[in-house]
Amino acid sequence: MDTILKPLYYAVSWIIVQFHSFYSLIFGKDSGAAWGLSIVSLVVLIRICLIPLFVKQIKSTRNMQALQPKMKAIQERYKSDKQRQSEEMMKLYKETGTNPLSSCLPILAQSPFFISLYQVLSHIAQNKTVGVIDLPLLESAQKAHIFGAPLAAKFMDSAEKIESLGASLVDVRVVTIIMIILMSASQFYTQRQLMTKNVDLTVKTPFMQQQKMLMYVFPIMFAVFGINFPVGVLVYWLTTNVWTMGQQMFVIRRNPTPGSKAFTERQERLRAAGKLVEDPAVVEAKKAVEEARQNRQQPKRQPKSKRQATAGTGAVGGGTQSRTRAGSGGAASGAEASEKQSPEKQSPEKPDSKAKGSSASGTRTTKSGQRKGQQRPKHPTKK
């Protein structure tokens, strides 16, 4: 490993030494600020050189999101034929000019520099010269502390080793824990920002589930591996995460994915500033929809007490109407029956008494709440 990465050891150490020479004029050559800012400047320089790869990563990620429906259709169509499925996927990538590995290019490009910095700091902790860092620079780097923690110290180092670097175990562990938490939190926020603002929410694909899983996996990985990183490497990785977060915020604001929440917000900003020119037909359609929505009257929901009172009134009214109709029908049928009865069958002796009896009977029926109308006359032979 050392033989392969030795040229990078020289490159990384040389860049750090040059920045250290500049910052030494301000903070002093043995100060932690001079060495810490040298590492931060190394990160900034590397990330500036990786901007073209980052732009390519953004385009590749967007293309992958746009291809998710077609990829899902291919998977469903060739579910039982994995070879044909892979061939169709490669054909789709070739036709659209998409490279699935492009999204990993910035991380892959940073990896050699990350490993080289890790090895340089490890050599400093072991009191060994590395690259262009000679003995005077080695002694200066060992004296450098960031908030009381040496650059080459780790969370898992023993108390004896940390004391040999001129620090205490408590200071080193407090500083490393705070930096690991900040590193994991920045990674989580960066991934969450990508998921909530720069993803087309109208398309539900496995890619979204994968990104959601990575949102939780990466911070845990940083927390686990961070306890074995020297303080200088934690400075490097924290700076990288903060740079990525800011760079992504800028890209999402200026060039969001179509269909995403950030895209809608950008369209609203441009529309408010008068910089967005829309089709007049689209504008008229939106106005018509908005006017129809405002003019539409929704039925008001009545309170429960009013609904119950209305239901009770309807039930009583219905019963009264039913009884009235029944009484009217009974009266009509009684009248028809009396008309059909022949005069010969009626008693000639007491016609008035029967009429009075019928009237009284009808009156009693009305008073007692029974059916109204005349009762059917009895046969003369029956008493």
Mean pLDDT of 301-321: 60
3-state helix, strand, coil in the chain (%, to 5): 75, 0, 25
N- to C-terminal Cα separation, the chain:
131
Structure tokens at 37: 């800012």
Distance between alpha carbon 63 and the CA centroid of its chain, in Å? Answer: 21
Backbone angles phi, psi at 195, to 5 degrees: -75, -40
Structure tokens at 350: 């007491």
Neighbouring CB atoms inside 10 A of 314's CB total 10
Whether pTM exceeds 0.85: no
Predicted confidence at residue 163, as pLDDT, reads 86
Compute the distance between CA of residue 47 and CA of residue 243 in angstroms, rounded to an integer: 8
Backbone angles phi, psi at 31, to 5 degrees: -80, 150
DSSP H or E run through 192: helix 169-197
Task: Choose between 214 and 100: higher pLDDT.
Answer: 214
Mean pLDDT of 44-67: 77
Q: Is-contact 85 37, C-beta < 8 A?
A: no
Share of the chain above pLDDT 70, in %: 67
Report the chain's mean pLDDT, rounded to a whole number.
Answer: 74
pLDDT of 188 above 70: yes
**β-bridge pairing 145-146 and 149-150:** antiparallel
Predicted confidence at residue 278, as pLDDT, reads 61
Task: Choose between 145 and 222: higher pLDDT.
Answer: 145
Compute the distance between CA of residue 254 and CA of residue 55 in angstroms, rounded to an integer: 13
Predicted confidence at residue 179, as pLDDT, reads 93
Q: Is-contact 233 149, C-beta < 8 A?
A: no
pLDDT of 330 above 80: no
pLDDT of 87 above 50: yes
Structure tokens at 373: 């109308």
Backbone angles phi, psi at 2, to 5 degrees: -65, -35
Q: What is the pLDDT of residues 232-285, one digit of tens each?
A: 889 988 998 899 888 888 888 887 777 778 778 888 888 788 776 665 665 666
Contacts 24+ apart (CB under 8 A), 361-370: none
Predicted confidence at residue 262, as pLDDT, reads 79
Structure tokens at 146: 């960031």
Q: Which of 4-18, 95-109, 276-290, 304-318 has the highest mean pLDDT?
A: 4-18
Q: Is-contact 84 112, C-beta < 8 A?
A: no
Q: What is the pLDDT of residues 165-175, one digit of tens each?
A: 888 899 999 99
Structure tokens at 347: 């008693």
pLDDT of 122 above 70: yes
Q: How confident is the model at residue 177 (pLDDT cuts 50, 70, 90)?
A: very high
Mean pLDDT of 10-24: 91
- The CA-based diameter of the chain, rounded to the nearest angstrom, is 151
